[in-house]
Amino acid sequence: MAKRILSGMRPTGRLHIGHYVGALENWVSMQKEYENYHLVADYHVLTTNPDSSKIYENTIDMVIDWIAAGIDPQKSPVFRQSQIKEHTELFLLFSMLITTARLERNPTLKDQVRDLNIESLMFGYLGYPVLQAADILLYKGNVVPVGEDQVPHVEITREIARRFNQQYGEVFPEPEPKLTKFARLVGLDGDAKMSKSLGNTILLSDTKDEIQQKLRKAVTDPQKMRKGDPGRPEVCLVFSYHKKFNPEEVPEIETNCRSGALGCVDCKQKCTMSINKYLEPIREKRLYYESRKDEVLAIIIDGESRARATAQETMRQVREVMKLG
């Protein structure tokens, strides 16, 4: 049997090139080799954003980006967590198999506590990785393509799977995280992370002009004031984008930046062209779906019926070994 992949993202709206490089591109290449399930984490998103009024819209926008980037929903079902009740059921059962002490050690929870404060931390956030374990194990995912930050959640998933299998009988695989080859993209403002909330992103849907405008404002090496000044590519975020989107020209750009022969304006222009080349086919495809959102919903609903069948079969096995009912 083909190995199974479970990949998921929270629906926060249109995706940016950081999502693409850090996750989506990986999903697309892996769908050839594996049986893939693509989950819209529309419960998880409530842990940080209880305003649910935009979830539907954001889901459609995100799924358009997935399909435009090359996810084939015929081959790999795309579905919403909230539409398959088995997620909540398995989440509840799993919550009996992990201690609160273990969940309190979860590093993403610690980050959250740092960002908020303990008083405003929701119970749901403590259970976040338990719900994620249910997402993965309901489909018996063997491989989970994630960024570095999600590895602790996959580790918790493995512990829960092990615990369940010991306690009740072998039902679940122990999934492996699969890290993306490329480290995540730096934001346009130089922040270590490109993220919607920081407003430092290039969207998959951005036009060439929008990319150009955004790059124009991007910070480069502060010591390079004008063309002719020697630059330090290693501190320049535009150079880091070249590495990803324009690898062939990297040696030349590096030499000419250091010598001063290449100015930031021209370098940014080159960068605009190469990012645009990457995004052009995606943008074209997303335009088609942009005006056919009903079709996108139909694709999701179809994915949900297939995902549900798998989830129900897993829950049948779970109930059987647990002697529930």
- Pattern 95-134, binding to ligand TRP, x per CB under 6 A? -------------------------------------x--
Does the footprint of ligand TRP cover residue 9 (CB under 6 A)?
Answer: yes
CB–CB of 145/178 below 8 Å? yes
Are 241 and 276 in contact by the 8 Å Cβ rule? The answer is no
Contact between 289 and 67 under an 8 Å Cβ cutoff? The reply is: yes
Q: Which two tokens stand for residue 269?
A: 């222009």
Query: Residue 320 has which token pair?
Result: 């059987």
- Nearest distance from C-beta of residue 223 to ligand TRP, angstroms: 36
Residue 80 interacts with ligand TRP (CB under 6 A): yes or no: no
Query: In three state form, how does the secondary structure of 118-161 look?
Result: HHHCCHHHHCHHHHHHHHHHHCCCCEEEECHHHHHHHHHHHHHH
Query: Closer to ligand TRP at the Cβ: 86 or 221?
Result: 86
Is 146 a binding residue for ligand TRP by CB under 6 A? The answer is yes
Number of residues that bind ligand TRP (CB under 6 A): 14
Q: Considering the rule CB under 6 A, would residue 7 count as an interface residue with ligand TRP?
A: yes
Across-strand partners of 144?
Answer: 177
Q: Using CA atoms, how far apart are residues 151 and 173, in angstroms rounded to an integer? A: 17
Q: Does 60 bind ligand TRP (CB under 6 A)?
A: no
Closer to ligand TRP by Cβ: residue 79 or 239: 79
Instruction: Determine which residue in the list 144, 161, 253, 318 makes contact with ligand TRP, applying CB under 6 A.
Output: 144
- The overall longest dimension of the chain from CA atoms, in Å, is 77
Shortest Å distance, C-beta 14 to ligand TRP: 16
Binding site for ligand TRP (CB under 6 A): 6-10, 39, 41, 44, 132, 135-136, 144, 146, 150
